[in-house]
Amino acid sequence: MKTIAIIAHDGKKPEMVQFLNENRDILHAKNIRLIATGTTGTKTEAAGYEVEKLLSGPLGGDAQIAARIAEGQVQMVIFFRDPLDKHPHEPDIFMLMRLCDVHNVPLATNPATAELLVRGL
């Protein structure tokens, strides 16, 4: 079973919910397991998905997902970043993205890319 980590900054959470709604069939058909940072996870549950919720991003959620990536437990990351906002946990965000590259884990940072990745599952 593949695990996808999903994360969205506040300004991008509506787009994440829309993405999850639009891709429900494929995610269910492929038996995907979801993990998420705290608030993104709450929105994901509200959209009708089962999801393992980690800490909220600013409290270490990105770092927790980064650790899972380093341990080989995550096969894809969908991270809708808000490029127009500042984030106090920027170092954690960079660490997560860096570890995707270190471990060759597909990373989508916008819905157009995420759509292509999910179609390739």
Ligand X SMILES: O=C(CO)COP(=O)(O)O
Binding residues for substrate: 9, 13, 37-40, 56-57, 89
**Torsion, Cα of 34, 117, 80, 97 (10° steps):** 90
The residues in 49-68 that bind ligand X, with binding defined as CB under 6 A, are 56-58, 61-62
**Region of residue 56 (left: phi > 0; alpha: psi -120 to 50; beta: else):** beta
| Annotation marks residue 62 as catalytic | yes
39 near ligand X, judged by CB under 6 A: yes
From the list 112, 114, 88, the residue with the least C-alpha distance to 6 is 114
Contacts with ligand X, residue ranges (CB under 6 A):
7, 9, 37-40, 56-58, 61-62, 87, 89, 93
Catalytic residue numbers, as ranges: 62
